[in-house]
Amino acid sequence: MNITFDNVSFKYIERKILDSASFSIEDKDKIGIVGVNGTGKSTTLKLILGMEKPNSGEIIISGGMRINYLPQDPKFDSDKSLIDIVMEDSTKEFPIKEYEANSILTKLGFSDTSIKPIGFSGGELKRLAIAKVLVTPCDILLLDEPTNHLDNELIMWLEKYLIKWKKGLLMVTHDRYFLQRICNRMMEIDYGKVYMYDANYDLFFELKEKRLLDEELYQKRIKSIIKSETEWLHRGVEARRTKSKSRIERFEKLSQIKFNEHKEYELSSVSTYLGKKILSFKNASKAFDKVLFKDFSFDLNRNDIVGVVGDNGSGKTTLFKIITQEEQLDSGELILGETLNIGYFSQHMELINPEIRVIDYIKDEQALIETLDGVITASSLLERFLFTKDLQYSKVKMLSGGEKRRLQLVKVLIKNPNMLLFDEPTNDLDLYTLEVLEDYLMNFKGPVMVVSHDRYFLDKVCNKLLIFNNEYINESNDSFSEYLDSLSIKPMNNNSSNNDTRVKKKMPAGLRNELNNLENEIPVLENKVKLISEEIKGITTDYHKLMELEDEKKKLEEEIDIKTNRYFELLEIKEEYN
């Protein structure tokens, strides 16, 4: 079974999303879709589902193919119970067993499956949607940002589930560990063109770099030819009489070629004075319906990049609201330095008025912005952040989710803060913007506190963690991956002489090496099976060769099953050591 795009073009208002795109997706592929925000990653999923229609070309889907879809922001009938919502697509031909539906809801944190999703948060709706798409029988999963709003435990559970998943998967995600460990192919959307790579995330970058280099060399050659042909065309009258018609026609065709100039940008802000006193908590406590934290004491240093981690609902965002003085402590003390200029990047995009124009969203804050290169206009700054003139005069509601996040980022930086609070900054941002953001944070002249569930992001930028754990906030100098691999940290207790006690047992080196080898070997074997399958399709008469290939394919699939089972055994052993 497969999905084929045949010369598909699609425009959204005046924005070209796909330009004569042709590619195929098979029901054994696990594909990660990447591209700059606004290039059409989510739109591609909607085109497959028929929620959008192509302007030209054809999308061919094998008859009988069942597709399950996880949208970025799922919505449900609030009159139905959770179990009824998850079971609603059950049929006689493809039934959903109720005990399986109850089991997956429980795994995703719903202890009472008879309740209705009234007043559910974005994270709870996402977990409910994941339960529904995973339990409903299908041939291919389409997942749009599946890790958004999930806590670390659920992200790791979902990762293991999708590694075991034997059918098709097409996924838009910014989670780089997800892309590396799950996907065997990558799809890049760039200037309306679609590029397919038979590679995991790491290898994709190498292949993309080669593609861009080849494109650059090709464009240089074409530009050189155009230059010489232009000079030839503008020679004197005598020479013009001898000009061949075919050469003139060739020049006209070459002149019509549009080159995709890959624009790059970097985040920057003018540094402002930051005094010695920055931020301190003294014996701080906060509770709503439950205690979020108590007896919390912490001093923020100038060079700290602090990852704030913990389960959903543990109080991470509340901590930020206390720092920005939107909320007050129940007891204890918060001391803020007089020179603090806090830039707060909220996770809530609903704070942006969807009817306002992009340019006005920035100009309402500041019409002229001080930058490292001097004072510039709001329009010039937006262009630096890849908002074209046309896009600047569009309403915010016309932007993709990632473009809205990038717009929020612009508004934070124009205030030239000397301290940053980032609440889930990686949600919806494309991988390119994430790398730019990471570089900016690591070079920022001031402290940063960031709430995130993005493991790669936290590992790369943070030099310290604040961990919400059983009514306490523990401080740790471990990386986030080290924290996940460690035993749970004991709750902070001011009466204890050692508040950061932990015992680590390392998995033996031999088993660790075996696990790492299997992570690399399994995708290679899967790729071999795919190549053999393609070869089999092309054989019509050579039955001897066909039987040989079928035998080879069967042996490889058996080897994959053995290695996959061993891989999960080793993951369980690793968890036991932790």
Q: Is 549 exposed, middle or buried (0-12, 13-18, 19+ CB in 10 A)?
A: middle
Decide if 308 is inside a domain: yes
71 lies in the same domain as 130: yes
- The pLDDT tens digits for 179-221 are 999 999 999 998 889 999 998 888 887 888 787 777 666 566 6
- Give a yes or no: residue 102 inside a domain: yes
Question: pLDDT digit string (tens) for 412-429?
Answer: 888 889 999 999 888 888
Domain boundary among 164, 184, 204: 204
Q: Name the DSSP letter for residue 395.
A: B
- What are 228's two structure tokens? 């010489």
Number of neighbouring beta carbons within 10 Å of residue 261? 8
pLDDT of residue 491: 36
Distances (CA, A) of 277 to 44, 274, 344: 50, 8, 19
Which residues lie below 8 Å from residue 4, measured CB to CB, with a gap of 6+? 22, 23, 24, 25, 59, 60, 61
Q: Whole-prediction pTM value?
A: 0.69
Identify whether 537 is part of a domain: yes
Residues 331 and 431 in one domain: yes
Residue where a domain terminates, one of 174, 204, 234: 204
Q: What is the pLDDT of residues 443-477, one digit of tens each?
A: 888 999 999 988 889 999 999 999 998 899 999 99
Residue 218 within a domain: no
pLDDT(43) > 90: yes
Residues 303 and 360 in one domain: yes
- The bridge status of strand 368-371 relative to strand 374-377 is antiparallel
* Torsion angle in degrees (nearest 10) through CA of 332, 336, 338, 340: -170
Between 407 and 569, where is the model more confident? 407
Residue 222 covered by a domain: no
Looking at the structure, do residues 460 and 552 belong to the same domain, yes or no?
Answer: no
Instruction: Using the predicted structure, report yes or no on whether residue 347 has a pLDDT greater than 60.
Output: yes
DSSP assignment letter at 443: T
In a domain, 83, yes or no: yes
Higher pLDDT, residue 523 or 350: 523
Same domain, 379 and 435: yes
Range of the domain at 31: 2-204
Query: Quick check: 344 pLDDT over 50?
Result: yes
| Cα gap 496→499, rounded to integer Å | 6
In a shared domain, residues 7 and 82: yes
Tokens found for residue 61: 């889907």
Same domain, 481 and 540: no
Mean pLDDT of 95-105: 89
* CATH code of 65's domain: 3.40.50.300
pLDDT in tens, 73-86: 899 988 999 999 99
Number of structural domains the chain divides into: 3
Is 195 among the domain residues? yes
Is 284 a domain residue? yes
According to the model, what pLDDT value does residue 22 have?
94
Dihedral of alpha carbons 168, 528, 574, 468, sign = negative
- Among 425, 451, 485, the domain-final residue is 485
17 & 139 share domain: yes
Which of 169-173, 270-274, 288-292, 348-352 shows the lowest per-residue confidence on average (mean pLDDT)?
348-352
- 297 and 420 in a common domain: yes
